[in-house]
Structure 1
Amino acid sequence: MDDLIEFDTNNLIDLLDKFLLDELSKETNNTATRTTPTTSACIDSLNNPSSLQLFQAKSIPTISIKNYLSRILRYCPSTNQVFLSLLVYFNRMKSLSNVFTLNSYNIHRLIIAGITVSSKFLSDIFYTNSRYAKVGGLPLSELNQLELHFLLLNDFNLFINKSEIDFYFKLLLEH
């Protein structure tokens, strides 16, 4: 974990970008081990296609993932743990839902919702939703909805233990 804290955030964004691009290029077949949601709200959200559809943009954003992450870092500086937590949360969402996939239409909205949620949970310093919305290029009301559904799709389980964060950091470094 100490290595992660001292790791250059711009380099982490480069690694995250490459990793997420590879994830987007993979087939949509997900063989991740499924877990059972524990809250009825999570179950309802996973069974409601509009919860997942909410993250789908009408068209693929023109900004690259790397530039989007760099923009977030520039205007809403966050720790490496916040950025790395995206991988943990995305994996949890995949493990809770047979229909959840990362794609070019939803990745940007998932990123800004994830950064918003993660910053509030993992950092002492975070910004207002209106700032995250502006930086993310979304109306505030839309980000508020995305934030709620991101929490639901993660079964409100935001805690990340040291071994999980170390695993994903190592995964990025070896990727």
Structure 2
Amino acid sequence: PAGAPQPTAAPFDINAYPPADLLKLLALLLTHIATTNDALPLPHHAASSSSTAGAFDPHNPPPIWHTLTTASRSAISTPAATLTFHARNVPTITLEAYLLRILKYCPTSNHVFLSLLVYFDRMSKLSEDAVGRAFVIDSYNIHRLVIAGVTVASKFFSDVFYTNSRYAKVGGLPLSELNQLELQFLLLNDFRLVISSVEMQHY
């Protein structure tokens, strides 16, 4: 009848979704983003160094600059921080296989894996808003971003998580390198790891 309240869709229960299926969807999305960015002109990738450095004026920073920790300001304004995630070569393992490997040897909740999308978006927006430099996800950095993000998110969201040496071994990295990636991941998110249920439902 007219005027009757319309039924609303029930919130998506991320915890009830089959983990392997979720990771396939996540891998598909992130691989699409990475390969699309791979096709961008080289100067766009180099924008993380010199070409857009002039866009940021330290004497007249944007309002968001004043909300950041000193350490995050340094990381976001320094191209080397984002280049930390850049591999010399594109990993031979597909992103889907990489995610499934993490799930197999460092099992964690769907919430942790989905949080990666939130954090990647935050990193990109924070960099763009703070210094006018886009954080570009591509095939050279996506695997390192994923293992660093899982390491960070597992510790934040889960009661059970693993040692960095285990995450490093599963991710195919030296422990010292993962430790550095973990720190840079935190800095590029300004240590803001809380994700509201509304924000998670959005993703």
Query: TM-score if structure 1 supplies the norm length?
Result: 0.89
RMSD of aligned alpha carbons = 1.6
Distance of 2:70 and 2:36 partners within structure 1: 31
Matched AA of 2:28: K
Structure 1 partner of 2:186: 151
- Structure with higher RCO (Cα < 8 A, 6+ apart): 1
Structure 1 partner of 2:121: 91
Q: Cα 1:139–1:35, aligned 2, differ >3 Å: closer, same or farther?
A: farther
Identical residues among aligned pairs (%): 53
Structural mapping, 1:65-144, within 5 Å:
65-97=95-127, 98-144=133-179
Matched AA of 2:16: E
**Within the alignment, does 1:58 sit opposite 2:88 as a pair?**
yes
**Within the alignment, does 1:18 sit opposite 2:46 as a pair?**
no
Q: How many residues align?
A: 164
Deviates more, 1:17-26 or 1:76-85: 17-26
Distance of 1:105 and 1:155 partners within structure 2: 23
Matched AA of 1:3: D
**Within the alignment, does 1:6 sit opposite 2:6 as a pair?**
no
> Retained in 1: the 8 A contact 2:125–2:134?
no
> Retained in 1: the 8 A contact 2:122–2:189?
yes
For structure 1, the 5+ residue unaligned runs are 169-175
For structure 2, the 5+ residue unaligned runs are 1-10, 45-61, 128-132
Structure number with bigger Rg: 2
SS at structure 1 position matched to 2:64: coil
Shift of 1:99: 3.1
Structure 2 partner of 1:161: 196
Deviations 1:106-153 (A, max 9, x none): 000000000000000000110000000000000000000000000000
